[in-house]
Amino acid sequence: MESDTDMLDFTRLVTTIRQAHDELSKQASRAVNISLTLRNWLIGCYIAEYELRGSDRANYGDRLLSELSEALRRHKISNTGRRQLYSYLAFYRAYPQIVRTVPAQTRHLLPRDIDSQKVRTASAQLAIAPEKLLESLSYSHFELIVALEDSLKRAFYEIECLRGNWSVRELKRQITSLYYERSDLSHDKQKLAELANQAAEKNTSKLSIRDPYVFEFLGLKSKEVMSESHLEEQLIDKLEAFLLELGHGFCFEARQKRILIGGEHFFIDLVFYHRILKCHVLVELKLEHFTHENIGQLNTYVSWYRQQMMSEGDNPPIGILLCTDKNHALAEYALAGMDNSLFVSKYLLELPKKEEMQAFIVSQVKEIGEKE
């Protein structure tokens, strides 16, 4: 006989449905995040194995990731731009022990003999089991941590992420604020950790279906959601054609040009050689509001090109920065190290006007959005 306490009234009906919804949303979120992270790790694994054993790898050399990105894009495989492929490769190399988390039903996706090989090379000093990391951190967390070169610093942020249940934005904020370095200098590390976590943004366990990364991975379509990487690729395609058609002397040289600065790789969206100005023109597109960090980054690229890539007879390189959001666009020029006002004026005379660049970007963002 059913007791009064077991009877289902309206309030309990709502509560029960909400609990089921919350629990299954958490399960869905974990499943999607783990699958996405494993996919990216496997892509890095395949690239590493190809670089090591590919029968025709010598045919590609430094062009491997560019060629691979183009081939995958033709097959409509999401999130496989050149930069992303490089990140997946770095992810695999930083976390070889993730091989132990690959489920039995998908182990056939692993390259031959990779399982035992990578378990042996996993770090013996690892404080957190890879299964725990994979369940608790999204790929976006891993991407930020992998960018840290110091293995101890990586382990520190892994632990703090799990302990504080940090969101991706919070992890980025803590790294930028030099939390690891401050902790090392602090006499009361526990007190510092408590202060750091008091106002920390927590990671939500619910699946955010509006996340463009997840959206693309699941193969879903929506006019409301467009992946930034997808939009960026389309805009760069159109920007390249736009500059070449202007008749200002732009000659295309490279796309996603990889350069090495201080042991870290960076990628320049577009590189041209200007036959009238006799100099390189570097173009960076940022799908965000303008920040001084943006122009500082471009100035770094321009300075590097000036030191490393100028040939006899070349003039100093210049940079074009395009920042945009849904409703606005801003163009800025980087003229690093130029103190001759006549020289600068000559450069600006030959370049497309800022207003012209801004109007083009705004129109293209609108056009691409309407097609989706």
pLDDT digits (tens, 9 = 90+) for 225-242: 444 455 667 777 788 888
What band does 44 get if pLDDT is binned at 50, 70 and 90?
very high
Helix (H, G, I), strand (E, B) or coil at 187: coil
Q: Which of 103, 163, 112, 113 has its CA nearest to residue 137?
A: 163
What distance in Å separates the CA atoms of residue 78 and residue 65, rounded to the nearest whole number? 15
> Are 258 and 283 members of one domain?
yes
In this prediction the pTM is: 0.57
For residue 100, is it within any domain?
yes
Single out the residue in 158, 190, 217 at which a domain terminates. Answer: 217
> Are 264 and 303 members of one domain?
yes
Helix (H, G, I), strand (E, B) or coil at 362: helix
CATH code, domain with 335: 3.40.1350
Domain of 87, in residue numbers: 18-217
> Are 124 and 153 members of one domain?
yes
> Are 331 and 253 members of one domain?
yes
The predicted-structure confidence for 73-87, as pLDDT tens digits, reads as follows: 888 888 888 888 999
**Cα dihedral across residues 265, 43, 288, 361: positive or negative:** positive
> Are 289 and 244 members of one domain?
yes
Looking at residue 92, its pLDDT comes to 94
The predicted-structure confidence for 125-150, as pLDDT tens digits, reads as follows: 445 788 888 888 988 899 999 988 88
For the chain, what is the domain count? 2
Residue 287 near residue 324, CB atoms below 8 Å: yes
What distance in Å separates the CA atoms of residue 250 and residue 243, rounded to the nearest whole number? 7
